[in-house]
Amino acid sequence: MRIDILTLFPNMFDGVFQESILKRAIEEKIIEVNIVNFRDYTKDPHNKVDDTPYGGGAGMVLTCQPIFDCIRDLRDDDCKVIMLTPSGIPYKQKMAYDLAKEKHLIILCGHYEGFDERIKRICDMCISIGDYVLTGGEVPAMVLVDSITRLIPGVINEQSHIEDSFNEHFLLDYPTYTKPQVYEGMEVPEILLSGDHKKIAEYRHQESLRITKENRPDLLNDK
C-alpha cells in the first residue's frame, strides 16, 4: 500500500515510522510512506497556504490552491483521499479494516482553523479520530496509518486481530496475565491455569462482553 501524508509539518513524522512494526512494514515494502509538504505546491509569492475566513472570525483557513494541486499531482485511479478534521465521521475499527484493503491512501492533515470547505469536494471521506480538537491532523494521521498497517496481511501475527473481524461487534479485549501466578497477593484467575482451552475461550469472551458493557456499552449497539 502506498500512503501519501500531506502536511505542513513533515518533521512531526520523524520517529513514528522509524521504530517497531511500522518500520518493519516499510522495510519489507508492505507499505510505502511518502510525507509531502503541501506548502511546496503554493503559487503564493510569500509561500502562504492560508488566509482569513470570509465572513470574519478568528484564525486562518487553509486555501484551496496548494492542496488541490498537491492532490491532483499525487492521485491515481485507484486511491482514497482522506481529510482529517474534528468534524469528520468518527473513526472506527471497521473503517480500519476497510481502508487496509486499499492500494493507495492520500491523507490530508489540517491546521489552523480548518480547510476551505471546497477542499472537501476532492476528498472521498472526512474522518475524526475522536471528540476532541487537536492542534492538527498529524497525530490523527499517525493513528490512521498505525491502525491500518497492523491489519495488512503479513504485518503482525494475524491471530491477534482475526477474532475481532469475525465478531458481530467490536468488543474490548479480555484481561490478560503473565508470570508470576501470584503478585503482591493478587492471583491469576484459576480457569486460565486449567489447560481447558474451550472453557478459557468462553471465559475470555464473557470477560470481553463484561468489559465492553461496563466501559463502552455504545459499541454493543454499533452495526
Q: Which residues bind ligand ADE (CB under 6 A)?
A: 84-86, 110, 128-130, 132-134, 136-137, 140
Instruction: Collapse the DSSP code of 186 into the 3-class scheme (helix H, G, I; strand E, B; otherwise coil) and give the result.
Output: strand
CB of 57 to ligand ADE, least distance (A): 17
Give 146 or 163: the residue with its C-beta nearer to ligand ADE. 146
Decide if 68 contacts 98 (C-beta within 8 A). Answer: no
Our CB check for ligand ADE shows the closer of 134 and 200 to be 134
Provide, rounded to whole angstroms, the least separation between the CB of residue 132 and ligand ADE: 6
Distance, CA of 221 to CA of 223 (rounded, Å): 6
Helix (H) or strand (E) holding 143: helix 138-149
CA distances, 13 to each of 6, 39, 59, 181, 208 (Å) = 11, 16, 25, 40, 34
Tell me the closest approach of the beta carbon of residue 143 to ligand ADE, in angstroms.
Answer: 8
Q: Which is nearer to ligand ADE, 119 or 155 (CB)?
A: 119
Is the Cβ of residue 66 or residue 140 nearer to ligand ADE in the bound state?
Answer: 140
Contacts of 218 (CB under 8 A, 6+ apart): none
CB of 97 to ligand ADE, least distance (A): 19
